[in-house]
Amino acid sequence: MPGDLFSKPAEYTIDSCSLMSIFSETPWISKSVNPGLWERIKELMAEGVIISHAEVLAEIKKDGKKGEELYNWAHANEHIFKNHDEDIEGKIIRSMSVTYKVFVNNKNKASDVYADPWLIAQAKLHKLKIISEETHSGSTDPENYKLPNVCDDPLFGVKCLNLWELVTERGWTFQSSRVAPSII
């Protein structure tokens, strides 16, 4: 995935649920609770190491105060969200639909915008890891599979990790900026 002369190669693509968690009040992930995590992620985005897909941008809505903040940030940083490679990504998604038709066709979802198959196709095409807060469905029925389940299929061979696993993989540490109350 070409960038400018100073960009590093992309290693990760990030799902909307991880971005929503960062912009929410999710305990350790929220940028208001752990600003160091958000700063590190923004650095990797600026370097081109973390990208996302245009379909993820389409999933981000102006719902509530935090939703509006994320929406405004995402639209100010649209360069992070890469356009479709419809020929190659489309072929990958078509191969996915043989086993994971319900997953690909967005059955049982509230929204008509659905980035998950596109993220897997982007990750497979560019040999990226997916950052997502989604968890395995726990079902053995492919009709109930979620993003991590489909990533695990050897046909795609895509690693899916959450933000905590990203922190561990990158060897990041964070210190609290809060001062402990003194004991008298």
- pLDDT, tens digit (0-9, with 9 covering 90-100), for 78-97: 999 999 999 999 999 999 99
Other Cβ atoms within 10 Å of 100 Cβ, number? 22
Contacts of 160 (CB under 8 A, 6+ apart): 129, 130, 132, 134, 147, 148, 151, 152
Find the angle CA(60)-CA(61)-CA(67) to the nearest 5 degrees. Answer: 95
Residue 157 is predicted with a pLDDT of 93
Reported in sequence order, the residue ranges of 28-149 that DSSP labels E, i.e. its strands, are 50-53, 81-82, 129-131
Query: First and final CA of the chain: distance in angstroms?
Result: 58
19-52 pLDDT, tens digit per residue, is: 999 999 877 888 988 899 999 999 999 999 999 9
Residue 53 is predicted with a pLDDT of 97
Confirm whether pTM is higher than 0.85.
yes
pLDDT for 5 beyond 90? no
Q: Residue 7 — pLDDT band, cuts 50, 70, 90?
A: confident
pLDDT for 2 beyond 80? no
105-162 pLDDT, tens digit per residue, is: 886 666 666 899 999 999 999 999 999 999 999 999 988 899 999 999 999 999 999 9
Q: Which domains does the chain carry?
A: 12-170 (3.40.50.1010)
Residue 143 is predicted with a pLDDT of 87
Q: pLDDT above 90 covers what percent of the chain?
A: 70
Contacts of 35 (CB under 8 A, 6+ apart): none
